[in-house]
Structure 1
C-alpha cells in the first residue's frame, strides 16, 4: 500500500473522502467504478466528487448538515456519497422501494439541505406535496459548478454524523440510525474485512442505501480497488459480470447466494478469480454455506451484527466447516454477551439476548431519544452495550448460535416458541423451498404459530402441517400452513414477517 495512504488509514479516525483523494493521486488511471457499461477512473471520480462538494458548499451546505439521495446505484450516486462527506455533511441514503409516505417521513426526519433522486424515484415522489429535489441527469449536470471547481477543505470530528441509515422497517416504522465518522472508520482498514486492497475487483449487487453494501463499498474504494456496481440484482447477470471482470470479492445476502447457485448453468461460469465471499443481513443456513463452499471457489466469511453497531461476530466458514450452524465468534475488539431477562450473563448453552460493544456503535436514533435508550444496555459498571433483540446461545468455544428474534418469539400457552425451530422442521420436507413462521392472535393460546411456505413440488397445506406436527413437540404444533408463491422481503433479502402477520389478520376479518 502507498505509504501516505497507509499512514492515513492508521489514524484513529479520518474522512473516507480523503482516502479516495489519496487513491486518485497514487493511481489516477486505475478504474474505480464500473456500472451499466460505463466506467470512471480514480482521477475522474475524485474530480466529480470535488465538483459536487463545491456545488453543495456554494449553496450553503455546511459541515454537520445532511444531504439525502434516493436512487438506484450509479457512478453519480457514489460521487454524491463521497462529495457529501467531503463537504463535512452526513449522507442519508433512502430506499426507492419505500412508499412515498415513508420517504416523506424519512426526509422530514433527516431534514436534508438537498435531495437527489433518479428518474424512477422522481416519479415515485411526485405525489408528495411540496417536496423539492434534483433529478440525476440533465438537471443535475446543470446544477453543478463548472468542471475543475474544488471545495473548501473541511475537518470533521470523530463523533460527527457520517451517515443516517434508515432501518429496513421489517418490524415497524424505519428509524434513522446515526453513524459517526469514528464508527465507520474501521471499515476502511483493509484487514477488516480481509481481502481488500489495490487490484481487487468487488461486485456490489445490493443497493447503496443498505448498510450491508457500505461494508463492501467503503473498503473497496479506500483500498484502491475496482467496484462493479449492479443497479439491480439479477443472478445470471451477476455471474456474467463476475466472469467478465475477474471478480475477487462479493458481499451478498443469503437469498442471493441461493438464487445464484440455482442458475441452471452456474457451473459453466469461470469463478476461479474469487478470493473471498461475504454474507450478512439475514439467516444463512448451514446447508447453504456448505453448498457455497463446495461449488464456488474462494473463502466464505459470514458477518453477524447490526446497523446500529455494538458487537459483531465473524465466521470464517472455510476454516470452521464444523461450525456452519453458527455465526462465528466476536471479532477482534468486539465484546459480546448473552444475557437473561434480569440482565445477568447466561452460561454456555443457555439462550438469552445478545448485547455487544465495540468502537463501532451508533450515536443513536435520530430524533428518537426514547428508542435510543431502549436499544442500550449497561453493565453493572455502567459500560454501554447495544441490544440486538436476537436470542442466541454461545458454546464452550465462544461460537454464537442464533435462535431467533426476541420480537419474533411466540408465547403460546405461556411457552416460548422460537420460529427458527419450527422453520427448520418445515424446511426438511423435500417439497419445501423455504418457510417463515409467525405468531398470530389466538383466543385459546394467546398466540399460535402459523407457517407460510414456498414449494418446489405441489403438496396440500394440511398434509404439510400434519407432517411437521408429527415431528414437533406438543406445544410447538403449527395451527395453520399457507402456501404462497413467494415470501415478502425487503431489498436486502430479509423476510418481512410483519407483512405476513398483517396478511393473516386481514384474511381473518374478511
Structure 2
C-alpha cells in the first residue's frame, strides 16, 4: 500500500482506516500503536502485521465483501486480525464469547464467515455445543503459524458502501441481528472524532470488549488519528486505575456500571488521572448523580453519546459544559435529525412524549439477511426521508435537550396506565440503602402487568425488603406501587453493562409464576 500522509487523507471525502495506519507507519513508524501488558506494537510493525493478515486471507480465497469472524477477549492479535481484514476489503463480524454456543453458531451461519479466529475462551464456549459450520477455525494464540510466508497483499479498492463490520445485537430481546456498517459510516465517525483532541499524543484505554460498537467508537479514532491504544483484556476497576495512571491515559470509553465501580473504588483518590482530556460514556442509562460525581472528582471532560449501533441519530451531552443538564442525554449532533413519533407513526410536536427516531450520515445499511426486521426498524417522514426507530421513549426540553423516559418495550401497562420503569427506579435510588436497581413488568392476572423491583444494597444498607417496599409505596400514587421488591447481590448485565431485564423476568416467572 502506497502511504499517503494522514492529514492529507483526512481532508478527503472518503478514505480508509487501513490507509491511515499505513500513513502513520510512514511518518511516525516508532509511535506505539497497541499496548497490552508487556507487549507493544509500533505503527510500523502494526502495518506489517496487517499486510501479513491481508495476504493470508487472500491466500485462503476470502474475497473483498465477504466476512470473517472473531470470537475472543481483547488482545493485540485480535486487533491485528480485525485491522488486517479491513485492509483486504473483508468485513469483520466480531462475536461475543459470552453468547451461548448455539447463538454463536447461528451468528456464524448468518454472517457466512469463511474463517473464525478464536482464542481459548472462544474455543471453550463453542465446544459446549459443537456444530457443523462453514467457518474454519484459526487459533489467535498461534496466529504466526497460520500467517505463512506471504507478507504483501494484493492492493484492494474499497467501496465506501461496502461492509466494514457486522455487529450483532446483544440478543437480550430475541435472536441477535447482524447490523451492517459501511466504510463510509466509519470514515465519517473517524473524521468528526478530531473534535475530541485525539492525535499522536493521545492514549486511549480500552476496557470494553472489541466486539462491541461501544468500544469501536473509541478504538478506531485513537488509532486512525495516530494515537496509542492500551488494551485491558478484562475490566477490573483497580487495574483500570493502575493502567490509566501508568500510561497517562487521555481518553477512555466506559459504560455506566464501570464508572460506578471506578468511582466507588476505595483507592480512587490515590491515582493520578490528571492526563485525561475526555471520558466518554454510552450504551446504558447514565444517572445524573453518577455524572456529577465523575465531574467533581475525575479530571477532564465528560461526554455522553446517545444512539444505537444501527445508527440513525446521535445526541451528545458535554456534561462538563452543561452541568445543569445531567438528567438529559444532550442535544442532536450536527447533521443529525432527531424526532419523536406516536404509536401510530405520526410525528409529534415539541413538548410531546414519543418514540425517538433519528436520521444521520451514519446509518446502518440494514440487518444482514433480515429485510423484514430492517423494515420494522425504519420510519419515513412525509418527504420520504429515512429514519431509524430507537424503541426509546423521550421528550425534548425548551433548550433542545433530550430526556429519555424509558425503552418502549420496557414500559409497563398496569391496569391501563403506562408506567415508566425509569421513573420508579429514580425514586428508589433516592433511598440511602439502594446502590443499584431495576424495575421489570411481570404478568399479572388482575392488572395485565405489575412492577417488580430488583435492588442491590449499599454495603451499609440495613433495610428489609418489606421496609423498602413500604417506603417506596408510601411515596407514589396507587397506580405506581410496586407489587414486589427483592434484594439482589448484583443485577445481571451484558458485557457492556446493559441490565438483562428479560433474564430477571424469566427467572421470576419460573420461580413464582404470574402475579395475582
Written as runs of structure 1 = structure 2, the 5 A alignment for 1:223-262 is 223-262=225-264
Residues 105 and 131, structure 2, Cα contact 8 Å, conserved in 1: no
Any idea what SS the aligned residue of 2:499 has? coil
Aligned to 2:69: 68
Q: Determine the C-alpha separation between the residues in 2 that align with 1:79 and 1:458.
A: 50
The equivalent position to 2:146 in structure 1, one of 127, 143, 146, is 143
Aligned to 2:505: 501
Residues 190 and 196, structure 1, Cα contact 8 Å, conserved in 2: no
Any idea what SS the aligned residue of 2:113 has? coil
Written as runs of structure 1 = structure 2, the 5 A alignment for 1:108-119 is 108-119=109-120
Provide structure 2 residue ranges, at least 5 long, that are not aligned to the other structure: none
The equivalent position to 1:488 in structure 2, one of 486, 489, 492, is 492
Residues 34 and 229, structure 1, Cα contact 8 Å, conserved in 2: yes
Written as runs of structure 1 = structure 2, the 5 A alignment for 1:270-419 is 270-419=272-421
- Residues paired across the two proteins, number: 507
1:192, distance to aligned residue in structure 2 (A): 5.3
Residues 171 and 497, structure 1, Cα contact 8 Å, conserved in 2: no
Q: Determine the C-alpha separation between the residues in 2 that align with 1:408 and 1:455.
A: 23
1:129, distance to aligned residue in structure 2 (A): 2.6
Any idea what SS the aligned residue of 1:133 has? strand
Normalised by the length of structure 1, the TM-score is: 0.97
Q: Determine the C-alpha separation between the residues in 2 that align with 1:322 and 1:192.
A: 26
Q: Determine the C-alpha separation between the residues in 1 that align with 2:465 and 2:351.
A: 35
Written as runs of structure 1 = structure 2, the 5 A alignment for 1:189-228 is 189=191, 191=193, 194-228=196-230
Mark the CA change 1:509 to 1:400 in structure 2 (over 3 Å): closer, same or farther: closer
Q: Determine the C-alpha separation between the residues in 1 that align with 2:148 and 2:4.
A: 33
Q: Deviations over 1:428-484 (max 9, x none)?
A: 111111111011111100111111111111322121111111111211111001111
Any idea what SS the aligned residue of 1:434 has? strand
1:339, distance to aligned residue in structure 2 (A): 1.6
Aligned to 1:97: 98
Q: Determine the C-alpha separation between the residues in 2 that align with 1:20 and 1:72.
A: 23
Any idea what SS the aligned residue of 1:493 has? coil
Normalised by the length of structure 2, the TM-score is: 0.96
Residues 419 and 438, structure 1, Cα contact 8 Å, conserved in 2: yes
Any idea what SS the aligned residue of 1:114 has? strand
Any idea what SS the aligned residue of 2:5 has? helix
CA-based RMSD: 1.4
Any idea what SS the aligned residue of 2:295 has? helix
Query: Comparing 7-16 with 417-426, which one deviates more in the overlay?
Result: 7-16
Q: Determine the C-alpha separation between the residues in 1 that align with 2:440 and 2:416.
A: 16
Residues 194 and 225, structure 2, Cα contact 8 Å, conserved in 1: no
Written as runs of structure 1 = structure 2, the 5 A alignment for 1:27-176 is 27-126=28-127, 127-131=129-133, 132-138=136-142, 140-146=143-149, 149-176=151-178
Query: Comparing 220-229 with 176-185, which one deviates more in the overlay?
Result: 176-185
Q: Determine the C-alpha separation between the residues in 2 that align with 1:76 and 1:342.
A: 48
Mark the CA change 1:128 to 1:3 in structure 2 (over 3 Å): closer, same or farther: closer
Residues 68 and 116, structure 1, Cα contact 8 Å, conserved in 2: yes
Aligned to 2:464: 460
Residues 449 and 478, structure 1, Cα contact 8 Å, conserved in 2: yes
Residues 70 and 116, structure 1, Cα contact 8 Å, conserved in 2: yes
Residues 190 and 197, structure 1, Cα contact 8 Å, conserved in 2: no
1:256, distance to aligned residue in structure 2 (A): 0.5
1:7, distance to aligned residue in structure 2 (A): 2.4
Residues 190 and 223, structure 1, Cα contact 8 Å, conserved in 2: no
1:349, distance to aligned residue in structure 2 (A): 2.9
Residues 253 and 281, structure 1, Cα contact 8 Å, conserved in 2: yes
1:143, distance to aligned residue in structure 2 (A): 1.2
Mark the CA change 1:509 to 1:446 in structure 2 (over 3 Å): closer, same or farther: closer
Query: Comparing 189-198 with 79-88, which one deviates more in the overlay?
Result: 189-198
Any idea what SS the aligned residue of 1:490 has? coil
Any idea what SS the aligned residue of 1:487 has? coil
Provide structure 1 residue ranges, at least 5 long, that are not aligned to the other structure: none
1:3, distance to aligned residue in structure 2 (A): 8.3
The equivalent position to 2:476 in structure 1, one of 469, 472, 477, is 472
Q: Determine the C-alpha separation between the residues in 2 that align with 1:322 and 1:509.
A: 43
Query: Comparing 38-47 with 347-356, which one deviates more in the overlay?
Result: 347-356
The equivalent position to 1:265 in structure 2, one of 267, 275, 280, is 267
Q: Determine the C-alpha separation between the residues in 2 that align with 1:393 and 1:345.
A: 13
Residues 193 and 221, structure 2, Cα contact 8 Å, conserved in 1: no
Any idea what SS the aligned residue of 2:468 has? helix
